[in-house]
Structure 1
Amino acid sequence: MPHVLTLDLADEAATARLAATLGRLLTTGDVVALSGDLGAGKSAFARHLIRSLGDADEEVPSPTFTLVQTYDLPGFPLWHFDLYRLTAPDEVLELGWEEVRHEGVALVEWPARLGALLPADRLDLDLAITGPESRRATLTGHGAWTARLATAWEGFKP
């Protein structure tokens, strides 16, 4: 059974703290599925996570038009996918999906576009707009993430 954690994030600084905390938990092979309405902060969350693991001043553009951006971070490469423009799940294979699943970490915006290619072992993070700057983050751990999520967030203060 998946483990679910819901956090209220008062502002972008709280989102950045959540991203940095999550970043410290990532290992090769992880998939983080980012969901939420347009403008909910998926790309901003990914930007904070990537900067927390690498260079804090790194340019981290949204992959909306390129579909994927890659980052060589200490410990693993990270691939940031934006699948909004995909028309079929197997199109992700042309973007290096199999490679990242074996060699790196995948952050995936619009993960439902993966269909059956969405791995069962993953962390879902859904961001909902609750105010001009506030968000509600719902994290759902599947597979190995069930136990990781249950123990990793004790004491976290958004």
Structure 2
Amino acid sequence: MVDLLASTGVRVGEFIRLDIDDVDIQGRECVVTGKGNKQRPVYFDARTKLHPTAYLESRKDSNPALFVSLNGRTQRLSVCTIEKRMKALGEKAQIGRVHPHTFRRTLATHAIDKGMPIEQVQKLLGHSKIETTMHYAMVNQSNVKASHEKYLF
């Protein structure tokens, strides 16, 4: 779950609505349904590809949801459940409070820092307004200086 959240930058609400059929593991992408019931493709890295494959092979149920509870009832996970699991992981790793939304912000920041055009980050995150995307991405000041030197001098 962590790798998929970190690699795609999806909203937790989009994450819990993912069905197995929404995911193309070999193509390393999935289609999420975002705000306003709009669908968009999101992508994940090669390392992330390994985890859903092993997880799905271990499942013995017929629930269409990508992520289900492991307590025998195989219900689709809720936002609250994901948040609790992330909090528990953060405590176990002794890194403090971990929230699913942090992965989304981090992905946006890294994408901008590595030079991805803001319009593409906007598409990736499913934002209708570029201003929203700009609020997500915490731009590194040293990157601003480097870009200033690169583009203006």
TM-score bracket for the superposition, by shorter chain length: under 0.3
Give the TM-score, by structure 2 length.
0.27
Which protein has the bigger strand share? 1
Which protein has the bigger helix share? 2
Q: Which has the higher contact order (CA 8 A, sep 6+)?
A: 1
Give the TM-score, by structure 1 length.
0.27
Larger Rg: 2
